[in-house]
Structure 1
Amino acid sequence: MNEHLKHKGRRIIFIHGKGDGVLRQAILRELRVHYPQSRYQDASFREYGYGATMVTI
């Protein structure tokens, strides 16, 4: 995330798959702890299908 910010990135998509949601929950936990100012939502279904989260820094 820090490297992405250095290059003026505002949004990043995490592809975590559907499964049991373990990886998604780990990503969201890291965001809450280390990037509390960030916002997140499900990524576009049309572009990524299920199992992706878009984060706005």
Structure 2
Amino acid sequence: MTDDEIIHRIREQDAPGELPPPAPPEVVAELEAAVGHAMPPLLKRDPSRSRGRGVRSLG
């Protein structure tokens, strides 16, 4: 399954307002520093370009 297919499946099952908005790049960098490694490319995709879900802000 490709990254685009995974994103498509997630979008099919996402009810509007159910998921939080994507995290900004600085939050992703902070998470990566905390866990000690980079997030997979699929999670870091720019949702404005890919319609992906990416890493989410936890509030």
Please give the TM-score of this superposition, normalised by the length of structure 2. Answer: 0.34
Greater RCO (Cα-Cα under 8 Å, separation 6 or more): 1
Structure with more of its chain in helix, by fraction: 2
The structure with more radius of gyration: 2
Please give the TM-score of this superposition, normalised by the length of structure 1. Answer: 0.35
Structure with more of its chain in strand, by fraction: 1
